[in-house]
Amino acid sequence: MQNDEALLEIAKKLIEAELCWGASSSWKNQDFVALSKKIADNTGSSVSAITLKRIWGKVRYTGLPQTYTLNTLVSFLGYESWRDFVVKNDGGSARFCRK
């Protein structure tokens, strides 16, 4: 069973793959602003660029994001909620479910 930090890493990689913007290590502030807008446009929920920068390690932060933020991130990927994402991606294997 994977912990939430490992599952968040999976979600981040899936978002990066969905965006096709290249390595997140080279993303700049405007990329996080653009991602924030994309998330809001696609989900109807907002996550600030600074929160996204915390999640991607551009700003020092320890701990997990709030459940609202986790729900919004995986909603962007097509999941119903963080719980739905966890259930579908925590099978102990490398499989990643989208539906």
pLDDT along the chain (99 residues), means of 10: 88 96 96 98 98 95 93 97 91 50
pLDDT score at 35: 98
> Does residue 19 form part of some domain?
yes
pLDDT score at 31: 98
Nearest to 48 by CA among 60, 28, 34, 62: 34
Which run of H or E residues covers position 48?
none
Phi (first) and psi of residue 50, to 5 degrees: -65, -35
> Does residue 29 form part of some domain?
yes
Domains in the chain, number? 1
> Does residue 97 form part of some domain?
no
Residue 33 structure tokens: 């602003």
Contacts of residue 6, Cβ cutoff 8 Å, sequence gap at least 6: none
Nearest to 11 by CA among 77, 83, 93: 77
* Alpha helices by DSSP H, 20-94: 29-43, 49-55, 67-76, 82-89
Place of tokens 């290590």: 25
pLDDT score at 63: 85
> Does residue 99 form part of some domain?
no
Domain containing residue 18: 4-89
Q: How far apart are CA 37 and CA 85, in angstroms?
A: 22
